[in-house]
Structure 1
Amino acid sequence: MSTRRPNRPNRKSARGWWVGSAILAAGCIGIGAWLVPTATGRWDQLSGTDQPKPMSSISTVASSLKDLPEDAPQPTADQLQAPLAATAQKLGDGGTMVSQVVDVKSGEVLYGQDAEHPVTPASNMKLLTEFALLSHSDPNARYSTDAYLSKDSSSLNLVAGGDTMLADGASEDGSVLGHAGLGTLADQTVSKLAADGVTGTLPVNLDASMYTGPAVNPAWAPEDVKSGYATGISPIALWDHHTQRPSDGEDVSHRPRDAGAEALSSYVDALNKAGAEHGLAFSAGSTTPAATDQDSARRVASVESATVLEQARYMMENSDNVLAEVLGRNAAISAGNEGSIDGAVATVKSSLTDAGISTQGLTQKDSSGLSADDRVTPVTLSQLIAKATQSRTATSNLAETLPVGGGTGTLAARFEEDGTTAAQGNARAKTGTLLTVNSLTGYTTTSKGRLLAYSFVVNDVKDSKAAVTALDSSVATLTQL
């Protein structure tokens, strides 16, 4: 029997309006796209302590923005104390809530309940992973999957580049999942080999040396791996570590035994299909993750993933544990660390420290929050949100990847109970769910337009429905101020 439950995303139309990064808001009417400000369109003018490696980017974000009211009044601590204490009582004896609320503009802590107490965050840990990712990566960068011909033209090397969303057929340019396809890579490969006069049978080896260390995190419960909520992590995989396109964001079936070997097999099949008429045949070679010579002159084909930011948004909206582990390792490599469990953990801590975010009480075992041994405080979580919404660097993009209350991702069916609907379209947050954990960390605006960052985490949950009600009511209370 599983000791954990995944976050369950439900989809319905977005409504209302929300505030984004850099204390900006975009107005939306009815059902439509959320207009999101990011730092990427103004990169040359931007600087900040939480972006160690600034990079040039091109913004693809709509520019119809309006500032929040400069004179929006800041709520007082007294205004929050009684209402939030009351919403916490909705838990009854069903768990213990810790929390913190921060006024973003002033940095003042308006409310706290055991906020310095480390708790199990569940998928709120993904906030730390994305912050580290955007601290070291251009949000418009893409992960490349490449094919190289050996120096003696007797074999091919498939080189993993951190894209685990590959399609087994043609590239799907308009999609995040399947944006790059191994069928397209195979067609390019065969065309190049045929043009260069290469014939015969070539073995194809996999270079998966990008990641090091254990593929399966020892901090995960075995039943989570068996059920598919977690799996061995590879720097190359089909369909987000599935053997076929998943039916939706919560589909954890069809996990491969070896994702790298599965990708290699798919590539070889596509090569043989494309190469038959050119006198070319291919066979699967070594899957040992050894580094190969990557002379650019020997590269015969390449396909690129959806952008870093698009993958991060996919992770957040679907609360995708496996993709979080991939992006955690990719963040580590971008930061100059090893692409391993330990490398990802070290990168998160250094990224938070560099940004001036507290790491007191932080115990991190993975990048997804699936481990019950993860610990983080509401202080860290609320500071991270406040930093992201104010940031003048790539980390500002984190704010617009969070699901919208009553609109998108894992918040699509939230804030529907009486007394909570004010948060629909106004609040954004990351959910978190384990068997005894429910959490909600994000930001909202008061009725007068003041931006607040919050983190509410319930541990020792005995009644999940009561916990969700208490969380939603707490966020709605902030929105109604």
Structure 2
Amino acid sequence: MLLLAAAAGPLGAQGSAPASRTGANPVAVSRLIDPIVRGRGGTIGVAVFAVDRGIPLYLHNADVPVLPASNMKLYTTAAALGRLGPDFQYTTSLYVDGLIRPDGTLDGDLILVGRGDPTISGRFYGDSVTYVFDRFAAELRKLGLRRVRGDLIGDASYFDDARIASGWESSNLLWWYGARASALSFNDNVVTIEVRPGGWVGAPPGVSFHPRADRLVVINEAVTGGARGGRSIGIRRRPDIGGYEIRGRIPIRSGPLRYVVAVEDPALFAASAFRDRLERSGIAIEGDIEVLQGWERRMYASPRLVVSQTSPRLIEIVKVINKHSHNFFAEQVLKTLGAVFEGEGSFDEGSEVVREFLDEIDVSAWGVRIEDGSGLSRYNAVTAKMTAELLVAMADHPRFQEFYDSLLIAGEDGDPRRLNAPAARGNVHSKTGTLKGVSALSGYVTTGDGELLVFSVISNNLARGKGAAIAIEDAVAERLAGYTMWDTPALESSTGR
């Protein structure tokens, strides 16, 4: 058989590290940050460390376990760069199992084998979503293939069959940011549903999928309404049919409405999309689509490699994760860690590799709970101190420059309204994090004296909500950026900025 595939108070006058003549003074840093974070309600964990000196400059609730949201991606990407390396690449392969007859008929199956590549989309291929599949089809045509008598097999067995991690809320599973993990993936495992008015009032709207995949199912209960009145289209998941249900109304004069949603079965979606591109290129598939998940295996007679696609380097993938906070990419990388180093592409084994990496770089994992790679799980738990210590350790790691460059750069990436103080722009390198009731910002900042610091600010259930949390995060980073032992910024306790 051939197989393919207890809360600490802030450091201040008492219990603080000795003041330094050449670096940030813990007493001064405490005076800067205390008015921002104290008395805000909820839980705010804050940790500030001097990188070269390796000392904490400020700690507030820093050992309290908190939900990190997308700050979990810092752990995933650090481990990925440290263990896989920035030059790691994924390989997706296409095999034929059988002989191609002179008339162009394959007496056997076509096998598409995925090994976790998250980049088979238009992101890296000139906005051509189907570039990889079109390339594969072209290679088959060069062999003279025009008909496949057998099945098209989508082999996703490199990962286990768990597509979502524990702690993912059902409200997140419809949309693009809840995309499932799979060893065989396509278009970030999302599809755009386009809803267009029907031909007359009362008619069902037109519904189409982009990119096209014939295995996607929709129950269309929506109607076309008159020109007056608004639109009220609602979409819900229907895992029982592997598709979606659409309800509501769309005005007859409305333009098309588009919704980017996650697909239920990524491997089936990928294989279905590939079949569509094969048929458009003139290659007919007479058999069915079969998907291999998890531990499923199939015997092949004489598989022969036709073509492979090598992904961009891992560092480019890490940039997508940290600069764009891409959940799907993070989950693919986490499962890849498990597959490569533990022999099982699962959330659990990937998380174990992250813990092992933390141990390697002498970061205590006490209190950490890692359920996924993206931070979407509400069962994750870290501390602000641990996150800051991770950043300190990475600053002394051979992969630091790649890690540092993958983060959001204030004034260049992300929301331009954030971290817009002159001292912060082009200086602060950070990772954001947001979930319901959770907000986080952790990263690196160079003071006005030229000292590199790390900071981690993670809030859970802040009384005044997300806006207040973001204001606190930005104020901490901006004050550290403007800090100089000769001219400490004035305090504005009313705003915390």
Q: TM-score range by the shorter chain?
A: 0.7 to 0.9
**Preserved contact between residue 242 and residue 253 of structure 1 (Cα < 8 Å):** yes
The answer to whether structure 1 residue 449 and structure 2 residue 398 are counterparts is no
Q: Where does 1:66-465 land on structure 2 (aligned, <5 Å)? A: 73-89=22-38, 93-151=40-98, 154-167=108-121, 173=125, 178=129, 181-192=132-143, 194=145, 201-244=149-192, 253-276=260-283, 281=285, 283-289=287-293, 290-291=296-297, 298-392=304-398, 394=399, 396-409=401-414, 411-416=415-420, 420-462=421-463, 463-465=465-467
Deviation string for 1:337-384 (max 9, x for gaps)?
A: 411111111111111111111101101222111122211011211111
- Distance change (3 Å), C-alpha of 1:295 and 1:357: farther
- In 2, the alpha carbon distance for the partners of 1:449 and 1:99 equals 22
Q: Kindly state the Cα deviation for residue 224 of structure 1 after the two structures are TM-superposed.
A: 1.4
**Preserved contact between residue 158 and residue 207 of structure 1 (Cα < 8 Å):** yes
Q: Kindly state the Cα deviation for residue 281 of structure 1 after the two structures are TM-superposed.
A: 4.2
The residue type equivalent to 1:355 in the other structure is I
- In 2, the alpha carbon distance for the partners of 1:173 and 1:296 equals 32
**Preserved contact between residue 179 and residue 190 of structure 2 (Cα < 8 Å):** no
> SS of the residue aligned with 1:109?
strand
- In 1, the alpha carbon distance for the partners of 2:454 and 2:259 equals 32
**Preserved contact between residue 172 and residue 178 of structure 1 (Cα < 8 Å):** no
**Structure 2 partner of 1:478:** 480
**Structure 1 partner of 2:470:** 468
Deviation string for 1:170-219 (max 9, x for gaps)?
A: x95457x959621112211332354xxx8653421111101114212231
**Structure 2 partner of 1:26:** none
The structure with the larger Rg is 2
Deviation string for 1:452-477 (max 9, x for gaps)?
A: 11111111123211111111111111
- In 1, the alpha carbon distance for the partners of 2:300 and 2:423 equals 55
- Distance change (3 Å), C-alpha of 1:199 and 1:472: closer
Which stretches in structure 1 are left out of the alignment for 5+ residues? 1-70
The residue type equivalent to 1:413 in the other structure is R
- Distance change (3 Å), C-alpha of 1:200 and 1:439: closer
**Preserved contact between residue 98 and residue 303 of structure 2 (Cα < 8 Å):** no
The residue type equivalent to 2:29 in the other structure is L
Q: Kindly state the Cα deviation for residue 147 of structure 1 after the two structures are TM-superposed.
A: 0.5
- In 1, the alpha carbon distance for the partners of 2:312 and 2:300 equals 23
- In 1, the alpha carbon distance for the partners of 2:354 and 2:346 equals 12
- Taking every aligned residue pair, what percent have the same amino acid on both sides? 26
Task: Pick which of 284-293 and 444-453 moved more.
Answer: 284-293
Q: Kindly state the Cα deviation for residue 285 of structure 1 after the two structures are TM-superposed.
A: 2.6
The residue type equivalent to 2:410 in the other structure is G
The residue type equivalent to 2:93 in the other structure is D
**Preserved contact between residue 94 and residue 466 of structure 1 (Cα < 8 Å):** no
The residue type equivalent to 1:425 in the other structure is G
- In 2, the alpha carbon distance for the partners of 1:185 and 1:425 equals 42
**Preserved contact between residue 423 and residue 476 of structure 1 (Cα < 8 Å):** yes
**Structure 2 partner of 1:45:** none
Q: Kindly state the Cα deviation for residue 432 of structure 1 after the two structures are TM-superposed.
A: 0.7
Greater fraction of residues in helix = 1
**Aligned-CA RMSD value:** 2.7
The residue type equivalent to 1:478 in the other structure is L
Q: Kindly state the Cα deviation for residue 443 of structure 1 after the two structures are TM-superposed.
A: 0.3
Q: Kindly state the Cα deviation for residue 294 of structure 1 after the two structures are TM-superposed.
A: 8.8
**Structure 2 partner of 1:32:** none
Q: Kindly state the Cα deviation for residue 400 of structure 1 after the two structures are TM-superposed.
A: 1.0
**Preserved contact between residue 95 and residue 306 of structure 2 (Cα < 8 Å):** yes
- Distance change (3 Å), C-alpha of 1:141 and 1:180: farther
The residue type equivalent to 1:157 in the other structure is I
- Distance change (3 Å), C-alpha of 1:324 and 1:180: farther
The residue type equivalent to 1:97 in the other structure is I
- In 1, the alpha carbon distance for the partners of 2:411 and 2:435 equals 21
**Preserved contact between residue 72 and residue 448 of structure 1 (Cα < 8 Å):** no
**Structure 1 partner of 2:15:** none
Deviation string for 1:93-115 (max 9, x for gaps)?
A: 35332111111111111111121
> SS of the residue aligned with 1:335?
helix
Which stretches in structure 2 are left out of the alignment for 5+ residues? 1-19, 100-106, 193-209, 212-257, 484-497
**Preserved contact between residue 338 and residue 347 of structure 2 (Cα < 8 Å):** no
Higher relative contact order (CA 8 A, sep 6+): 1
- In 1, the alpha carbon distance for the partners of 2:130 and 2:332 equals 16
The residue type equivalent to 2:260 in the other structure is S
> SS of the residue aligned with 1:476?
helix
Equivalent residues, number: 391
Q: Kindly state the Cα deviation for residue 304 of structure 1 after the two structures are TM-superposed.
A: 2.1
TM-score using structure 2 length? 0.73
